[in-house]
Structure 1
Amino acid sequence: MKKILFIHQSAELYGSDKTLLLLLKNLDKTKFKPIVILPFDGPLKEALESEKIEVVIAPVLKLYRKLFTPKNILGFFGDIKKAFKIINELHKKHQFDLIYSNTLAVLLGIMYAWKNNIQHLWHVHEIIEKPTLFKKGFIALLSLKCNNFIVYNSKATQTFWEANENISKKGIVIWNGIETNSLEINHNDVLDIRTNKFKLNSDEIVIALVGRISRWKGQMILLEAFQKLIKSRTDIKLVFVGAPPPNQENFQEDLEKKIAEYQLENNVLILPFQNEIQKIWQSIDIAVVPSTEPEPFGMVAIEAMLAQKPVVASNHGGLSEIVEDNKTGFLVQPNNQQELIFALEKLLQNQELRTQMGQNGFHRVIHQFSVEQYVQSFEKLFENIVV
């Protein structure tokens, strides 16, 4: 049995957290034994332990912008000592064949692999254009000889990071997957959400954006497009599902101010993150992913397509690989409000088109983004890595 140490930057249940949980939950435990290090307690730890997976809390040596102060650097070196002591005990017990670092943010894996001559795999979920110093630093880390393998979550992510031959010769793309076995639609749940959460009339069409409320997720450009669309229609509603990152509450405040300025309080709704997000997807009519900067992947597009909803998305990053233009939705030029309006108008005017694109998207997810394909790709990779 191959022993793999998985190191991750968080214990929440957002994008990269979900993909790690999905992999470990479905990994063949007769062939692979996963042990996981997380930086703190949280819902991911609970979910992993419910699957009988060993989880250890330790510093993961996370790289962040405010690290480079005397106090934080001193703390970082203290964390190295503490983390290495914990992994030394784990390695003595398990004798790891591979260290898997999930996201570029964690440095513990590459540092320990280098010191102890253990094979290392970096699963890259990010496109980091700024600050430039960070981008150059990560390119240097990915180039290291002790970083043996790289998995990218999209071709767009791969293209962004393959800056030299040292990187390009050891990287492959494995698209994220999603569980597709719980697809039954409970029409009573949908009716309850549309009536009580969305406050809809029966004939209203719901446009939704699910994701962090941030500078680049596109909430503001979608709101601007919506306020123009609603001038000629009275049967539409816009729903934002999500919350801003910690200490970035100003993005939601700005969004709320703009909603009030347009006098759209009865037409636009902001909901916090929902635990049962698939029920939300089932209750909307059109999904929009108008990211102003490239998404490394775009998990929300897959979630919407699984719920048989058409997706209007920005034509860059991983979204260009997920959404098939004019088949499962529309790809529009990033930051182009007029293209966004035009795509939404097409879908608003044609229920049959919404239904057909939703069905096409569902079949695409089943065939290209299933959890089975996702996990099998990793298992094959692990088999080839650890002989």
Structure 2
Amino acid sequence: MKIICVHQSADMYGSDRSFLQVIKYFNQSGDFEKITVILPRSGPLVAELEKLGVDIIYMNLSLLSKTYLMKLQWGKIIFPLFSFNSKRKLYNQYDVVYVNTSVILDFYLLAPFLKQMKVIHIREIPNKFLSKVLSFLLKCAGSKIIFNSNSTLNSFKKLDRSFVVHNAFEGFSKEFTTAIEERPDGLLHVLLIGRINGWKGQDFAIEALTKIRSSRVLLRIVGSTSLGNEGLVDELKKKVEKLGLTAQVEFLDFVSDTAGIYAWSDVVIVPSTKPEPFGRIAIEAMSLYRPVIAANHGGLPEIVENAVSGFLFEPNNMDSFVAALTNYIDDRKLLQQHGLNAKRVFDEKFSLNGFYQKIDSVFKSEMV
């Protein structure tokens, strides 16, 4: 069989890494003689896909991007739809169509004209209005739907042929798989890694540090912004200076090899101000014995067990966040024990083998 896979990005953030995992499953399964990936542009993801020997096609996609919608860049959404016929002819050359996101408008318009097996993998929690629109489009699409968490599933109206498959992580090399050690500098190394935007919590975490200025905490913010939002990093750096936190906060650009970044940390924070559909950062951290402090909404409570593998705090509540962080500032043995617990939970629930088995069951049930 032949499969065509559509993805909205070419970076190496959480959704991109998860997409790559699925492509690796297709590649290893032996069920597909040809795998073609459609991307809107080139980027770091391309090199990883090329290692798998898949075909790559660059194509303008109609994306329901928040940036496009907020900046009224309607042309970037509408113009790609003019290639409807050529996309339909291309997709109909394949036995299976796999779409890695809910925001590709092309797919919804094409779906009624595609009679082969269709699978859409949803990794986003939309607002209430968009949820209603997407739920209607998904119902009309006639595809199988994979949700990356129960929280994501519950953000949509009830849909037939739906499955929940939690994201997984393949793990880092053994070089980095060590438990937390004592720090010669006496600092608690706190990591916030991921795309920088208005809701991932970078701004929140910086302001929260003003409540614990005297504590020996070093926050490292690692990540870059999406196109059109480059000014966000400069704004965060100015805020750090204005609040007098330059000795407690440092910035690094996004890097594709994140193992060393996680190994630097003692605890990883996921302070997202809006619900995370899943929280891949959390399981990556847990795979390296790092406990996680996360906002108690979205898919994160399905990953982090409060006071066992980290702490859950009230979303957008700085006092709640600081209280969780202070637990580790005051008790390094607790930090180390939670790190051991985090690694155990990762091995039990979020390993790659279990993920492949669940994905396999979704696809194989349509192939018989």
CA separation in 1, counterparts of 2:279 and 2:355? 15
Give me the whole-angstrom Cα distance separating, in 1, the residues matched to 2:75 and 2:213: 52
Deviation at 1:73, TM superposition (A): 6.5
Paired position in structure 2 for 1:79: 83
CA contact (8 A) 1:174 1:374 kept: yes
Q: Over alpha carbons, which structure has the higher Rg?
A: 1
2:298 aligns to what SS in structure 1?
A: coil
Aligned match of 2:165: 174
Percentage identity across paired residues of the two chains: 32
For 2:174, the equivalent position in structure 1 comes to: 183
What is the distance in 1 between the residues matched to 2:104 and 2:112?
A: 14
Kept after mapping to 1: 8 A contact 2:275/2:297: yes
Q: How does 1:199-214 map to 2 (within 5 A)?
A: 202-214=185-197
Task: Look up the match of 1:118.
Answer: 116
The 1-side partners of 2:217 and 2:149 are apart by 33
- 1:324 is matched with which residue? 305
Unaligned runs of 5+ in 2: none
Question: Is 1:307 the equivalent of 2:288?
Answer: yes
Aligned residue identity for 1:202: D
Distance in 2 separating the partners of 1:60 and 1:258: 36
- Identify the residue that residue 153 of structure 1 maps to in structure 2: 148
SS in 1 for 2:60: coil
| C-alpha RMSD of the superposition | 2.4
Q: How does 1:276-287 map to 2 (within 5 A)?
A: 276-287=257-268
State the one-letter code of the partner of 1:355: Q
Deviations 1:215-272 (A, max 9, x none): 11111221122122122x2x32111111222222343233222211221212210111
CA gap 1:106/1:292 in 2 versus in 1, 3 angstroms: same
**3-state SS of paired residue (1:373):** helix
Contact 1:243 1:252 in 2 (8 A): yes
Residues 101 and 123 of structure 2 are in contact (CA less than 8 Å); yes or no, is this contact kept in structure 1? yes
What whole-Å deviation, never above 9, does each CA across 1:161-218 have from its counterpart, x for those lacking one?
1x14xx1x2211000110126232289xx99xxxxxxxx9632221111122221111
Residues 59, 246 of structure 1: alpha-carbon distance in 2 compared, 3 angstrom cutoff: closer
Stretches (4+) displaced over 6 A: 67-70
CA distance in 1 between partners of 2:44 and 2:58 (Å): 13
Distance 2:18 2:114 in 1: 27
Specify every segment of 5 or more residues in structure 1 that has no aligned partner in the other structure, as ranges: 192-199
Alpha-carbon contact 2:91-2:114 (below 8 Å) kept? no
- 1:39-81 residue CA offsets vs partner (Å, 9 max, x unmatched): 2222222211211122222333323364777855762342323
Partner of 1:107: 105
Query: Which amino acid letter does the alignment assign opposite residue 5 of structure 1?
Result: I
- State the partner residue of 2:209: 226
Q: How many residues are treated as equivalent by the alignment? A: 362
Q: Secondary structure at the match of 1:32?
A: coil
Contact 2:64 2:77 in 1 (8 A): no
Counterpart residue type for residue 76 of structure 1: P
Match of 1:9 in 2: 8
